Amino acid sequence: MSDPGVAVVVEDDADVRNLVMAVLRQSGFEVHVAPNGKAGVELVRTHDATVVTVDVGLPDIDGYEVLRRIRAFSTCYVVMLTSRGDELDTLTALQSGADDYLTKPFRPRELRARISAMLRRPRVEPAAEARPHGATASSAPASAPLAVPSASPVVEHNGLALNPSARTVDLNGQDLPLTRSEFDLLNEMLRSNGAVRTKADLVRVVRGDYYGEDTYISDSDERAIEVHIGNLRRKLDEDPKNPRWLQTVRGVGYRLTPPRS
């Protein structure tokens, strides 16, 4: 990545803070660090950060509260760092607006690869009038265009219309706000045309190039997919007994429901 922008590291452990700072600087970021949550939020606001890493266990306010405050004014990419890998941590992080999470200890190469994968999936910034008061847009690198077919980019299914080039989803005439991972998963399911996608397949969709065909997929990775799918269903207001879009294939993964007349 060349000149990817500003990164903020919110971490009270000096060793972890220095490690993350070194990884981000090697990736080309201008890096600012904070030892607590309140200072981290202000750094993100002041420097219009592109990427933020947030430790869950901070000394003043916890990482989830930091994330909620950041999401009030910024669409920056956020990676949560936690020393615990249970499902509740994953659920809380993703539902609070995190783009990804890593369990400590982690490999520097993995952090670098995940951030690189996030930046290759640029966000669509909200219109200025739709942002909270005082909000500023955090921009992804202009050098990361989304490759989409030029012909008929909009995919429609049972009242849902997804435009991969604009990264928008329309449900019965209403805009459906999704996170980056939720959008990528929904796009993948719509493009699958009813074929079953395993949880491992969908992990690779979310994680990007770092997770190749021979990469080990952990239980934690698959639980994260379950959380994303659950969030998608909630936003789609799916009827669990009669799903309109996403159908669970027990013990395997998910598939798109058949078209309805």
pTM for this prediction: 0.60
Give me the numbers of helices (H) and strands (E) for the chain, helices first please: 8, 12
Whether cis (ω within 30° of 0) applies to the bond prior to 243 is no
Planar angle of CA 72, 110, 186, nearest 5 degrees: 55
Q: pLDDT at position 224, please? A: 82
Ranges of each domain in the chain: 6-119, 146-256
Q: Please count the residues of the chain.
A: 261
- The pLDDT value recorded for residue 136 is 44
Sign, Cα dihedral of 128, 48, 62, 94:
positive
Question: What CATH homologous superfamily does 6-119 map to?
Answer: Response regulator (3.40.50.2300)
Element (H or E) spanning 63, and its range? helix 63-71
**Can you give the pLDDT at residue 4?**
80
Tokens of 85: 């890998």
pLDDT for position 203: 87
Q: What is the DSSP string of 176-220?
A: ----HHHHHHHHHHHHTTT--EEHHHHHHHHHGGGS-TTSPPPHH
The residue among 217, 186, 187 whose CA lies nearest residue 201 is 217
pLDDT averaged per 10 residues in sequence order, the chain, 261 residues: 82 94 93 96 95 93 92 90 70 78 86 82 47 42 36 82 90 87 91 90 77 67 86 91 92 90 68
Whole-angstrom Cα distance, residue 119 to residue 27? 12
**pLDDT value of position 213:** 63
Listed in sequence order, the residues at least 6 apart from 86 whose beta carbon sits closer than 8 Å to its beta carbon are none
Q: How far is CA 121 from CA 18, 69, 125, 253, in A?
A: 27, 23, 12, 24
Token pair listed for 106: 């982690």
Q: Which of 162, 177, 230 is nearest to 202 (CA)?
A: 230
Question: What does the alpha-carbon distance between residue 16 and residue 104 come to, in Å, rounded to a whole number?
Answer: 9
Do 6-119 and 146-256 fold alike per CATH? no
Three-state DSSP at 104 gives: coil
CATH fold of 146-256 reads: Arc Repressor Mutant, subunit A (1.10.10)
φ/ψ (deg, to 5) at 240 = -60, -25
